[in-house]
Structures are given as structure tokens and as C-alpha cells.
Amino acid sequence: NAGVTQTPKFQVLKTGQSMTLQCAQDMNHNSMYWYRQDPGMGLRLIYYSASEGTTDKGEVPNGYNVSRLNKREFSLRLESAAPSQTSVYFCASRNNEKLFFGSGTQLSVL
Amino acid sequence: GIQVEQSPPDLILQEGANSTLRCNFSDSVNNLQWFHQNPWGQLINLFYIPSGTKQNGRLSATTVATERYSLLYISSSQTTDSGVYFCAPALGNTPLVFGKGTRLSVIA
């Protein structure tokens, strides 16, 4: 039982490049989330998917898009990366109670 | 949305000491969780505690939802308890809202 799996673990991009962060969970959870973590800011919600087929904006959605591919997978796309998107990104999934996190992706945009 | 305030922001303890971390929130909630982020960045769910008290080893948590606060107790602290502790409340199935955390350093 792997829980929540994120790839890649590290990524360096140049300004303007695009990339997709992948996330998959094997706990049969309905809800999935993308958070970003910046120093001193805690975790801020980018987008979430309450169930397969639905997505909603969180607190900081600008510059990102998401796709809930199926119940297991929820991807985050940066279409044109900017230095302000340098951060640690966490995917998470939740049953009715507990939230479980992936191990994170450290992204640097130069 | 829900506002979350955690205190203290930073805490340094000698190994073996006890501590209490506090989380205040602005609105009614029926979901509250505590997380530990270890020095390697991994986020671990410690408690799902919408109300009442739970204990897990040296850690326990209490939430008084009617008074809009939750407490995390760490007893006989160990160096492995170091890291950042986050409180995250929510109402219903809305996403959890995270506080800025309490950074704990336990020194031997």
C-alpha cells in the first residue's frame, strides 16, 4: 500500500517552460488536493477535486491547471513557469476524515 | 474562510520536557487535524480530532470546538519530535485550512 505517490521529487525549470506534476493514490479516496509550501507561509491550497470529474480553485490557483484523470490520479500543470512558482508542492488525498500527503516535489524556476 | 492562528511560532525544548501547542480558529468546524512535518519535509497525520481528546503514545490532542481552539500536548519530548506542527481545521468536506505552524526544536 503506497498511499500517495508524487513524481518527480525534484525539478528545475527555466522561466516559460511547462511541466506536469503527477499524483496518484491507492486508498480509494474521493478527494484529492494540491498544496504549495513556501517559507513562513504554511501550506496553501492551489486546486482540489472533491470527486472524480470535478475540480475547484483553491487560495492560489493563478498560473496552474489541474486534471482529475480518474479516481486515482490528479495532475498539476504549469503552462508557463515563473520564478514565483518556485516552491515545494504537495499532493494529498482524503477520505471523510484524515488527509494523507505525498512526499512532495521541490520545484525551482530560474 | 476560516482563519487559523497557531502559537507559539517557535519553541525550543530540552529533551524530556513537556509542551503544549495551541491552535485557534475563527469559525465553526467539524474536522480538525494535526500534522507533523519532520526535518526531511515529510508530512505525517498525527490526529483527526474534531472534538474531545485523543492520545497516541506521548502525544495527545484536545479540541473544544465550541470555544474554537485545539491543543497538542507533547510529553517527555525527544529529538525525533523536532519539526513543524500544523493544525488544519475544516467544515464538512471543504478543504482543510492550514495554520503557519509551530517550529519545535528539541535539543539533547
Instruction: Return d(Cα A59, Cα A61) in angstroms, integer.
Output: 6
Cβ <8 Å between B98 and A101: no
Instruction: Return d(Cα A16, Cα A9) in angstroms, integer.
Output: 20
| Mean pLDDT calculated for residue range A35-39 | 95
Specify which residues B85 forms β-bridges with. B36, B102
Which residues does chain A have within 8 Å of residue B35's beta carbon, measured at their own beta carbons? 99, 101
The model's pLDDT over A8-29, given as tens digits with 9 standing for 90+, comes to 999 999 999 999 999 999 999 9
Cβ <8 Å between B41 and A97: no
Give alpha helix (H) positions in A1-110.
Answer: none
Instruction: Return d(Cα B42, Cα B48) in angstroms, integer.
Output: 18
pLDDT level of residue A90 (50, 70, 90 thresholds): very high
Q: How far apart are the first and last CA of chain B?
A: 40
Q: Within an 8 Å CB–CB cutoff, is residue A42 touching chain B?
A: yes
Give burial (CB, 10 Å; 0-12/13-18/19+) of B72.
buried
For residue A2, the model assigns a pLDDT of: 79
Residue B28 has pLDDT above 70, yes or no: yes
Which residues does chain A have within 8 Å of residue B101's beta carbon, measured at their own beta carbons? 42
